[in-house]
Amino acid sequence: MSDTKVALVTGGSSGLGRELVAALAGEGWLVITDGRRQTELTEATKDFAGVTAIPGDVTDFAHRDALVAAVRAAGRLDLLANNASTLGPTPLLPLAQRTVEDLPEVWRTNVGAPFALAVELLPELLADDGVLLSVSSDAAVEHYEGWGLYGAAKAALDHLTLTLAAENPALHAYAVDPGDMRTPMHRAAFPGEDISDRPEPATVIPRLRHVWTRRPPSGRYRAADLPAVETTVDNTTGAHA
Protein backbone atom coordinates (compact mmCIF):
# COMPACT_ATOMS: atom_id res chain seq x y z
CA MET A 1 0.00 0.00 0.00
CA SER A 2 1.26 3.49 -0.87
CA ASP A 3 2.17 5.85 1.96
CA THR A 4 0.52 8.73 0.09
CA LYS A 5 -2.57 9.86 1.95
CA VAL A 6 -5.86 9.78 0.07
CA ALA A 7 -8.89 12.05 0.50
CA LEU A 8 -12.32 12.16 -1.08
CA VAL A 9 -13.72 15.69 -1.02
CA THR A 10 -17.21 16.17 -2.47
CA GLY A 11 -18.14 19.50 -4.02
CA GLY A 12 -14.60 20.51 -4.92
CA SER A 13 -15.32 22.93 -7.76
CA SER A 14 -15.88 26.06 -5.66
CA GLY A 15 -16.04 27.56 -2.20
CA LEU A 16 -14.80 25.60 0.78
CA GLY A 17 -14.56 22.37 -1.22
CA ARG A 18 -12.08 23.88 -3.66
CA GLU A 19 -9.98 25.21 -0.78
CA LEU A 20 -9.97 21.79 0.85
CA VAL A 21 -8.78 20.22 -2.41
CA ALA A 22 -6.07 22.88 -2.79
CA ALA A 23 -4.85 22.45 0.78
CA LEU A 24 -4.70 18.67 0.70
CA ALA A 25 -3.12 18.50 -2.75
CA GLY A 26 -0.58 21.05 -1.58
CA GLU A 27 0.34 18.80 1.31
CA GLY A 28 1.02 15.93 -1.07
CA TRP A 29 -2.25 14.04 -0.70
CA LEU A 30 -3.94 12.23 -3.54
CA VAL A 31 -7.34 13.93 -3.74
CA ILE A 32 -10.47 12.60 -5.41
CA THR A 33 -13.15 15.23 -5.86
CA ASP A 34 -16.29 15.97 -7.81
CA GLY A 35 -18.65 18.69 -8.96
CA ARG A 36 -21.84 18.89 -10.96
CA ARG A 37 -20.44 21.09 -13.74
CA GLN A 38 -17.51 19.54 -15.60
CA THR A 39 -16.08 22.79 -16.99
CA GLU A 40 -16.12 24.48 -13.59
CA LEU A 41 -14.61 21.42 -11.90
CA THR A 42 -11.81 21.13 -14.47
CA GLU A 43 -10.98 24.81 -14.19
CA ALA A 44 -11.00 24.71 -10.39
CA THR A 45 -8.61 21.76 -10.11
CA LYS A 46 -6.33 22.06 -13.15
CA ASP A 47 -3.43 23.66 -11.26
CA PHE A 48 -3.28 21.10 -8.43
CA ALA A 49 -1.05 18.04 -8.53
CA GLY A 50 -2.44 14.67 -7.53
CA VAL A 51 -6.12 15.48 -8.04
CA THR A 52 -8.61 13.16 -9.72
CA ALA A 53 -11.68 15.21 -10.69
CA ILE A 54 -14.84 13.24 -11.46
CA PRO A 55 -17.78 15.32 -12.72
CA GLY A 56 -21.20 14.33 -11.49
CA ASP A 57 -23.93 14.80 -8.92
CA VAL A 58 -23.51 13.13 -5.52
CA THR A 59 -27.21 12.28 -5.49
CA ASP A 60 -26.67 10.00 -8.50
CA PHE A 61 -26.04 6.34 -7.61
CA ALA A 62 -23.73 5.70 -10.57
CA HIS A 63 -21.66 8.78 -9.77
CA ARG A 64 -21.22 7.70 -6.15
CA ASP A 65 -20.16 4.29 -7.39
CA ALA A 66 -17.49 6.01 -9.52
CA LEU A 67 -16.21 7.93 -6.48
CA VAL A 68 -16.04 4.76 -4.40
CA ALA A 69 -14.26 2.93 -7.24
CA ALA A 70 -11.68 5.72 -7.46
CA VAL A 71 -11.03 5.46 -3.72
CA ARG A 72 -10.60 1.71 -3.92
CA ALA A 73 -8.29 2.04 -6.92
CA ALA A 74 -6.16 4.39 -4.83
CA GLY A 75 -5.86 1.66 -2.23
CA ARG A 76 -6.72 3.59 0.93
CA LEU A 77 -8.82 6.41 2.41
CA ASP A 78 -7.51 8.76 5.08
CA LEU A 79 -10.18 11.47 4.85
CA LEU A 80 -13.76 11.58 3.61
CA ALA A 81 -14.91 15.20 3.54
CA ASN A 82 -18.63 15.38 2.85
CA ASN A 83 -18.73 18.98 1.70
CA ALA A 84 -21.18 19.03 -1.24
CA SER A 85 -24.36 20.79 -0.21
CA THR A 86 -27.39 22.69 -1.46
CA LEU A 87 -29.64 25.38 -0.02
CA GLY A 88 -32.63 23.70 -1.60
CA PRO A 89 -35.29 25.77 -3.37
CA THR A 90 -34.45 29.45 -3.63
CA PRO A 91 -35.32 32.13 -2.79
CA LEU A 92 -35.33 31.05 0.85
CA LEU A 93 -38.87 31.18 2.27
CA PRO A 94 -40.49 30.52 5.67
CA LEU A 95 -41.46 26.89 6.29
CA ALA A 96 -45.15 27.79 6.14
CA GLN A 97 -44.61 28.61 2.47
CA ARG A 98 -42.92 25.28 1.74
CA THR A 99 -44.43 21.87 1.04
CA VAL A 100 -43.19 18.33 1.50
CA GLU A 101 -42.34 18.30 -2.22
CA ASP A 102 -39.55 20.80 -1.47
CA LEU A 103 -37.75 18.32 0.79
CA PRO A 104 -36.20 15.78 -1.62
CA GLU A 105 -33.71 18.13 -3.32
CA VAL A 106 -32.10 19.32 -0.11
CA TRP A 107 -32.40 15.95 1.65
CA ARG A 108 -30.79 13.88 -1.12
CA THR A 109 -27.78 16.20 -1.37
CA ASN A 110 -27.24 17.18 2.26
CA VAL A 111 -28.19 13.93 4.01
CA GLY A 112 -28.67 10.97 1.68
CA ALA A 113 -25.51 11.28 -0.41
CA PRO A 114 -23.06 11.92 2.45
CA PHE A 115 -24.65 9.15 4.50
CA ALA A 116 -24.40 6.71 1.60
CA LEU A 117 -20.73 7.54 0.99
CA ALA A 118 -19.86 7.32 4.68
CA VAL A 119 -21.48 3.89 5.03
CA GLU A 120 -20.01 2.55 1.78
CA LEU A 121 -16.51 3.75 2.66
CA LEU A 122 -16.66 3.00 6.39
CA PRO A 123 -14.53 -0.16 6.02
CA GLU A 124 -11.79 1.86 4.30
CA LEU A 125 -11.92 4.61 6.92
CA LEU A 126 -11.65 2.09 9.74
CA ALA A 127 -8.88 0.10 8.05
CA ASP A 128 -6.79 3.22 7.43
CA ASP A 129 -7.48 5.04 10.73
CA GLY A 130 -9.31 7.61 8.63
CA VAL A 131 -11.29 10.76 9.36
CA LEU A 132 -14.92 11.46 8.46
CA LEU A 133 -15.54 15.19 8.17
CA SER A 134 -19.10 16.39 7.60
CA VAL A 135 -19.39 20.10 6.81
CA SER A 136 -22.22 21.38 8.96
CA SER A 137 -23.73 24.81 9.64
CA ASP A 138 -24.89 26.96 12.53
CA ALA A 139 -28.35 26.52 10.96
CA ALA A 140 -28.24 22.94 12.28
CA VAL A 141 -28.58 24.23 15.84
CA GLU A 142 -29.95 27.76 15.40
CA HIS A 143 -33.25 28.76 13.81
CA TYR A 144 -33.16 31.31 11.01
CA GLU A 145 -36.13 32.43 8.95
CA GLY A 146 -36.00 30.79 5.54
CA TRP A 147 -33.29 28.30 6.47
CA GLY A 148 -35.57 25.59 7.88
CA LEU A 149 -35.11 22.89 5.23
CA TYR A 150 -31.36 23.43 5.01
CA GLY A 151 -30.97 23.55 8.79
CA ALA A 152 -33.02 20.39 9.31
CA ALA A 153 -30.88 18.56 6.75
CA LYS A 154 -27.64 19.69 8.39
CA ALA A 155 -28.97 18.66 11.80
CA ALA A 156 -29.71 15.21 10.38
CA LEU A 157 -26.21 15.03 8.87
CA ASP A 158 -24.69 15.91 12.25
CA HIS A 159 -26.74 13.18 13.92
CA LEU A 160 -25.82 10.49 11.40
CA THR A 161 -22.13 11.44 11.49
CA LEU A 162 -21.86 11.30 15.26
CA THR A 163 -23.98 8.16 15.55
CA LEU A 164 -21.53 6.46 13.19
CA ALA A 165 -18.81 7.56 15.61
CA ALA A 166 -20.74 6.16 18.59
CA GLU A 167 -21.23 2.86 16.80
CA ASN A 168 -17.62 2.70 15.61
CA PRO A 169 -15.33 3.97 18.38
CA ALA A 170 -12.24 3.64 16.18
CA LEU A 171 -13.70 6.16 13.69
CA HIS A 172 -12.58 9.79 13.91
CA ALA A 173 -15.82 11.59 12.97
CA TYR A 174 -16.55 15.31 13.04
CA ALA A 175 -19.45 17.57 12.16
CA VAL A 176 -17.88 21.01 11.79
CA ASP A 177 -19.64 24.34 11.35
CA PRO A 178 -17.23 26.43 9.26
CA GLY A 179 -19.08 29.69 9.91
CA ASP A 180 -20.26 32.24 7.36
CA MET A 181 -18.04 32.46 4.29
CA ARG A 182 -17.89 34.34 1.01
CA THR A 183 -19.11 31.47 -1.17
CA PRO A 184 -21.51 30.95 -4.09
CA MET A 185 -24.00 29.39 -1.65
CA HIS A 186 -24.04 32.49 0.52
CA ARG A 187 -24.46 34.68 -2.54
CA ALA A 188 -27.46 32.57 -3.53
CA ALA A 189 -28.89 32.88 -0.03
CA PHE A 190 -28.62 36.67 -0.06
CA PRO A 191 -29.31 37.71 -3.67
CA GLY A 192 -28.43 41.28 -4.43
CA GLU A 193 -26.72 41.80 -1.07
CA ASP A 194 -23.07 42.62 -0.47
CA ILE A 195 -21.47 39.67 1.33
CA SER A 196 -17.90 40.98 1.08
CA ASP A 197 -17.76 41.18 4.88
CA ARG A 198 -17.76 37.38 5.07
CA PRO A 199 -14.31 35.77 5.27
CA GLU A 200 -12.91 33.85 2.32
CA PRO A 201 -13.23 30.06 2.67
CA ALA A 202 -9.44 29.69 2.60
CA THR A 203 -9.31 31.30 6.05
CA VAL A 204 -11.18 28.31 7.52
CA ILE A 205 -8.74 25.66 6.26
CA PRO A 206 -6.15 25.98 9.08
CA ARG A 207 -8.89 25.25 11.63
CA LEU A 208 -10.34 22.34 9.65
CA ARG A 209 -6.80 20.98 9.32
CA HIS A 210 -6.89 20.48 13.10
CA VAL A 211 -9.36 17.59 12.80
CA TRP A 212 -7.29 15.48 10.39
CA THR A 213 -3.91 16.28 11.93
CA ARG A 214 -4.64 16.52 15.67
CA ARG A 215 -7.75 14.29 15.75
CA PRO A 216 -9.68 15.61 18.75
CA PRO A 217 -12.47 13.44 20.19
CA SER A 218 -15.26 12.78 17.70
CA GLY A 219 -18.00 15.39 17.99
CA ARG A 220 -19.59 18.56 16.70
CA TYR A 221 -17.32 21.61 16.54
CA ARG A 222 -17.36 25.22 15.43
CA ALA A 223 -14.34 25.90 13.24
CA ALA A 224 -13.84 29.17 15.10
CA ASP A 225 -13.25 27.18 18.31
CA LEU A 226 -10.61 24.88 16.80
CA PRO A 227 -6.90 25.80 17.02
CA ALA A 228 -5.44 26.73 13.65
CA VAL A 229 -2.85 24.36 12.18
CA GLU A 230 -0.79 26.01 9.47
CA THR A 231 1.25 24.41 6.70
CA THR A 232 4.23 25.55 4.64
CA VAL A 233 3.42 23.65 1.48
CA ASP A 234 3.09 24.99 -2.07
CA ASN A 235 -0.49 24.12 -2.97
CA THR A 236 0.12 23.91 -6.71
CA THR A 237 2.97 21.41 -6.70
CA GLY A 238 2.74 19.66 -3.35
CA ALA A 239 6.32 20.71 -2.55
CA HIS A 240 7.33 22.14 0.80
CA ALA A 241 8.11 25.83 0.65
Active site residues: 150
Q: Which residues, 6+ apart, have CB-to-CB distance to 48 below 8 Å?
A: 21, 22, 25, 26, 31, 235, 236
DSSP code string of 81-111 = EE------SSS---GGG--GGGHHHHHIIII
Looking at residue 145, the DSSP 8-state letter turns out to be T
Closest CA to 173 of 187, 159, 192, 183: 159
Q: Which residues, 6+ apart, have CB-to-CB distance to 166 below 8 Å?
A: none
